[in-house]
Amino acid sequence: MRVPTAISVEKRLAASPVPVPLSGKDLGAFRRALLRWYDHHRRDLPWRKTHDPYRIWLSEIMLQQTRVAAVLDHYRIFLERFPNVEALAAASEDAVLAAWSGLGYYRRARMLHQCAKELVEQHGGRFPQSAEVLRTLPGVGRYTAAAIASITFDEPIAVVDGNVERVLERLTGCDLKQPQTWQHAQSLLSASRPGDFNQSMMELGATVCLPRDPKCPTCPVRKWCVTQQSKITMERRASSPGGPPPTPSRQIKKEIWCELSQRDGHIRLVQRPRKSSLMPGMWELPPLSQKPHRTPLSAPWRTFRHSVTITNYTVHVRQSAAPTAKGKWIPVANIPHLPITGLTRKILKAASII
């Protein structure tokens, strides 16, 4: 008798109709098992200790396409500078970008600032309590609106991010289309604890139901998982809610040179054009148009690796006592309040300047 392979089982599952969601006793048992696991094993994260919509909103925006470990310090510092939506709305864009510096995807910070202004001007500084109205705010999409509404206001509405999508596809053993994913998530939701349930689904995907090498033996809901029962390890999107990681063929490699000059407690920086398509208005080390010749005035080269979306940069930095590139002398003391690029922050930290 021919034994079916993992690939043949996976194809059969993907081709079969989407199973009917859990119901009755199974659904109740599934919810209890997942919430019990979450209560005992969830990570200790600062935004899980509050129901303040401002803090929940901030965490959700910061966590988009960014690892939790990278967000923690930025979240704390941002709240110290802008403790509430009124303070954020009253700040300048440069101040907001300075606090965001290092997180990348700076459009998020600009939309965050714009949203804060609208909340203050049109909603009296109060967050709408329904996902439907939250979605009308700048930079707030379906996922973010549902997360805020369920976690803060207990609205029984499900969320779907990359982690939840992966969990649902493995539970059903099917490659779900977007409407099916949201429908499944809503059908599983615990109406009595919607915020905790949504977070438990995301936590499960982030810590147990991993893209590669999932920890199936420790999964609290493995008995209801079609993929686990069929002994299939399915690889799904590996990083962010925005989609799968780019394949090597999509990666772009670039080599650039820039200049690091210091003088009397000042650093020479240049500001990117306000209309630039990438990081407009941000400050950075002056770029060099071509690889410079070594001179007695230039220190040895130092090389950094840096990635922005699908572009991998090799960045050569020349420390020069006699600057050759255009720029402006900026006091080192002012840099924490200046919107500098993540690459510039990396270089200045390596040089022990900040």
DSSP character at residue 113: H
Provide DSSP, 301-348: PEEEEEEETTEEEEEEEEEBSS--S--EEEEGGGGGGS-B-HHHHHHH
Angle at alpha carbon of residue 156, lines to 151 and 161, rounded to 5°: 65
DSSP character at residue 106: T
- How far from the centroid of its chain's Cα atoms is residue 201's Cα? 17
Residue 32 is encoded by which pair of tokens?
A: 């209890």
Q: In angstroms, rounded to a whole number, what is the distance separating the alpha carbons of residues 353 and 166?
A: 42
The residue among 14, 17, 34 whose CA lies nearest residue 26 is 34
- How far from the centroid of its chain's Cα atoms is residue 48's Cα? 17
CA dihedral for 86, 92, 93, 96, sign (positive or negative): negative
Show which residues are catalytic: 60
Angle at alpha carbon of residue 342, lines to 338 and 347, rounded to 5°: 95
- What is the DSSP pairing of strand 266-271 with strand 262-263? antiparallel
Q: In angstroms, rounded to a whole number, what is the distance separating the alpha carbons of residues 138 and 116?
A: 9
The residue among 259, 255, 256 whose CA lies nearest residue 318 is 259
The residue among 302, 299, 298, 353 whose CA lies nearest residue 331 is 353
Residue type, 311: T
Q: Which residues of 134-150 are buried (b: 16+ CB within 10 A; e: fewer)?
A: bbebebbeebbbbbbbb
- CA distance to 8, 119, 121, 137, per residue, from 114 (Å): 50, 9, 11, 9
